[in-house]
Amino acid sequence: SFFAGWSLFWMSAAILRGVLRDPNIPLSWARRFWGRGLVWIARCQLVRHPGFIPEPGKPYIFVMNHQSLFDIVAAFVAIPVNIRFIAKKVLRLIPFLGWYMLATGMVFIDRNKREDAVKSLDEACDKIRSGISILVYPEGTRSRDGLILPFKKGPFVMAIQAGVPIVPVAIEGCQNLLERDSLRIQGGRVDIAIGQPIPTANLSVDDRDALMERVRNALIDLHLTIGGRGGERSTVYAAGDSSSAAVAALSTAASAPKLA
């Protein structure tokens, strides 16, 4: 299909450029050309709602709800800074995809052994602190009904260890544009909004659960403002209290953990 051909063309160009020059250049191509081209091909009306504008050169961890594979395209177009993804280290060996990820400086995690996992997490955090921004899908899978699912804890451990702000990003409509387990794209409207950053400075791993619930509640609120269904809200975090002491206290009060 033209969708695949368009992606292969820009992936090949990114590999050549990324190997020879700054990897930020092919990432900007993904935002300016690849993503915008696919939005046009898909006959997608992408609506970016007013919200937080990320500062270029400052690292963030963007946390986004997951509805379909087209979420990635929409994120590249709507988030006005270069973004990278967390990927399993084994993906580097896949032709074209692995080459593209290496050329654009994606962040790899090795989960095979605990020692390797800890080392790769430290390396990933160093990369983030150096100024790169990443996008994660903490639900771990695509929602079938549009409701925001429980979060996995890994991204929040990384955010605390890296000490960078978490920015919630809500998306709605991608599940209709590209349905789960389907490659057939049909035109439609996709809404996306970037929320205010949530700081992680001075937090410890003990604050992980409270931070996770705070971010999830913020994402649910944001999702509702753009016409989404939101999700089951946690009552652990008291909305409006952003002090690290409150977050730590709430973390202690949190009972059963969510998904590991």
* Concatenated DSSP letters of the chain: -HHHHHHHHHHHHHHHHHHHS-THHHHHHIIIIIHHHHHHHTTEEEEE-S---PPTT---EEEE---STHHHHHHHHHSSS-EEEEEEGGGGGSTTHHHHHHHTTPEEE--SSHHHHHHHHHHHHHHHHTT-EEEE-TTSS--SSSPPPPPBSHHHHHHHHHT--EEEEEEESHHHHB-TT---B--EEEEEEE---B--TT--GGGHHHHHHHHHHHHHHHHHHTT----PPPSSS-TT---HHHHHHHHHH--S--B-
Question: Residue 77 — very low, low, confident or very high, per pLDDT cuts 50/70/90?
Answer: very high
What does residue 134 show for φ and ψ, rounded to 5 degrees?
-125, 160
Q: Tell me the pTM.
A: 0.81
Between 126 and 166, where is the model more confident? 166
Is residue 132 pLDDT above 70, yes or no?
yes
With a CB cutoff of 8 Å and minimum separation 6, the contacts of 242 are 198, 199
The string of pLDDT tens digits covering residues 178-218 is: 666 666 677 889 999 999 999 999 999 999 999 999 999 99
At 70, which amino acid appears? F
pLDDT at 239 over 70: no
Query: In this predicted model, which residue has the larger pLDDT, 244 or 146?
Result: 146
Highest mean pLDDT among 35-39, 134-138, 231-235, 248-252: 134-138
Give the percent of the chain with pLDDT over 90: 44
